[in-house]
Amino acid sequence: KLGLRVVLPIFIGQILQHFVPPAKEFVKQYKKYFKTAQECCLLFIIYTVFCKTFLQGMEASVGQIFLMIALQFFMLCVVMVLAWTCLRVLFRNEPKLQAMGLFGCTHKTVAMGVPLINAIYESNPMVGLYTLPLLIWHPMQLVIGSFVAPYVAAYVKRREEEISSTVQEEKSADGT
């Protein structure tokens, strides 16, 4: 089921994108409508998963859900700090790559995660609870990312200026 719901559509999409130019042009022309349809389908999947979960009863209390939200916030912050530290060490003179890596390392997609979880735990009545952490993580990463983005942009700008001035100083010291 996982292959049919996740891997097969990705595989078919890649084949169409690379080997069927009219399909690629069609999608490009109607991209706005495909995006809307994708969002509606995802919303429908999430809605049905939660309906199924709450219809059959939920074993988690409100306190446990808030604890999960707090732990996810903490985990996201820790992962972002760890990613930022590693990226600054590994890509010392590439601030744009550091910035891209920070968000790429920590951001997870609901569009892929929800179908995966739904396919793996389809018959489990608690599938909605298994999906909930991802549904919390996604908006949380958007909020934290929106807060951090101006600081990261300022860092990139400052660091690029430092790098270019260092390169210019080295060139003038070499006499070129």
pLDDT digits (tens, 9 = 90+) for 32-62: 999 899 888 878 877 887 777 777 777 778 8
Q: Which two tokens stand for residue 85?
A: 């530290």
Q: What's the whole-model pTM score?
A: 0.70
pLDDT digits (tens, 9 = 90+) for 102-152: 988 887 777 778 878 878 887 887 777 888 888 888 888 889 999 999 999
What 3 state SS string does 149-165 have? HHHHHHHHHHHHHHHHH
Q: Which residues contact 72 (CB under 8 A, 6 or more apart)?
A: 133, 136, 137, 140
| Residue-level pLDDT at 167 | 81
Instruction: Report the percentage of the chain scoring pLDDT > 90.
Output: 38
